[in-house]
Chains A and B, each alone.
Chain A
Amino acid sequence: ETGVTQSPTHLIKTRGQQVTLRCSSQSGHNTVSWYQQALGQGPQFIFQYYREEENGRGNFPPRFSGLQFPNYSSELNVNALELDDSALYLCASSQDRRTDTQYFGPGTRLTVL
């Protein structure tokens, strides 16, 4: 069974640029959630995708957008990057949107200069 994978591992961007982060969900999982984890803090929920549709969104501006593909992999896009967007971005997959357990990938460390 393949776990959750994310790419890239690290990324450096400048303010105003756009970034795309990728996540492959665990085999058999149809739900993907994205979280932002600032240094020294707990993760903050960005949004969740279930069967290619957004299934809930946290308190993040519209410049944070996402996509889920038919194979249930997912992308997180962030436009007009700001310095405060620097964080670890975590992807988690679960077997179904009604399933408790979320399995996390190793994250993508984004630095905005």
Chain B
Amino acid sequence: QQQVKQSPQSLIVQKGGISIINCAYENTAFDYFPWYQQFPGKGPALLIAIRPDVSEKKEGRFTISFNKSAKQFSLHIMDSQPGDSATYFCAASMDSNYQLIWGAGTKLIIKP
């Protein structure tokens, strides 16, 4: 019940295209869903986050879509750029402890 399942494991997108990464969770007590971006040799950096009271959140080229009934959420990167090439992690936590439960990560490559 604590798992967060992320797909795909890897993704190749042409420059200017849309990158889509999906996550699914089981525990309905989760109420905070962040996405982190990690470059090689660096720690994860918060990209964007959402709570279940909204179905979509947009920040620049990054959008989270959230489907509470399906227990799924996704990250969309519009107009993908080579600089977006990184590993992306979804995560979830509960209000009670803020312990982040992480997906396995998606390695995104943007081809110029």
Give the B-binding residues of A (Cβ under 8 A). Answer: 4, 33, 35, 40-45, 48, 55-56, 58, 90, 92, 94, 97-107
In contact, B43 and A90 (Cβ under 8 angstroms):
yes
Task: State whether A44 and B102 are in contact (beta carbons under 8 Å apart), knowing that A100-B32, A100-B34, A106-B41 are contacts in the complex.
Answer: yes
Task: State whether A94 and B98 are in contact (beta carbons under 8 Å apart), knowing that A42-B89, A42-B104, A100-B34 are contacts in the complex.
Answer: yes
Which residue of chain B has its CB nearest to the CB of A59? B2
Give the A-binding residues of B (Cβ under 8 A). Answer: 6, 32, 34, 36, 41-46, 49, 89, 91, 93, 97-105
In contact, A106 and B105 (Cβ under 8 angstroms):
no
B residues less than 8 Å from A100 (CB atoms) = 32, 34, 49, 93, 98
- Docked pose: A44 CA to B57 CA in angstroms: 26
In contact, A43 and B44 (Cβ under 8 angstroms):
yes
Q: How far is the CB of A42 from chain B (nearest CB, A)?
A: 3
Which residue of chain A has its CB nearest to the CB of B101? A45
Which residue of chain B has its CB nearest to the CB of A42? B102
What would 19 more interface pairs be, CB under 8 Å, given A56-B99, A100-B98?
A40-B105, A41-B104, A42-B91, A42-B105, A44-B102, A45-B100, A45-B101, A55-B97, A58-B99, A90-B44, A97-B98, A98-B98, A100-B49, A100-B93, A101-B34, A101-B46, A101-B49, A104-B43, A106-B42
Which residue of chain B has its CB nearest to the CB of A31? B98
Task: State whether A41 and B105 are in contact (beta carbons under 8 Å apart), knowing that A48-B99, A58-B99 are contacts in the complex.
Answer: yes
Which residue of chain B has its CB nearest to the CB of A101? B46
B residues less than 8 Å from A45 (CB atoms) = 99-101
In contact, B103 and A42 (Cβ under 8 angstroms):
yes
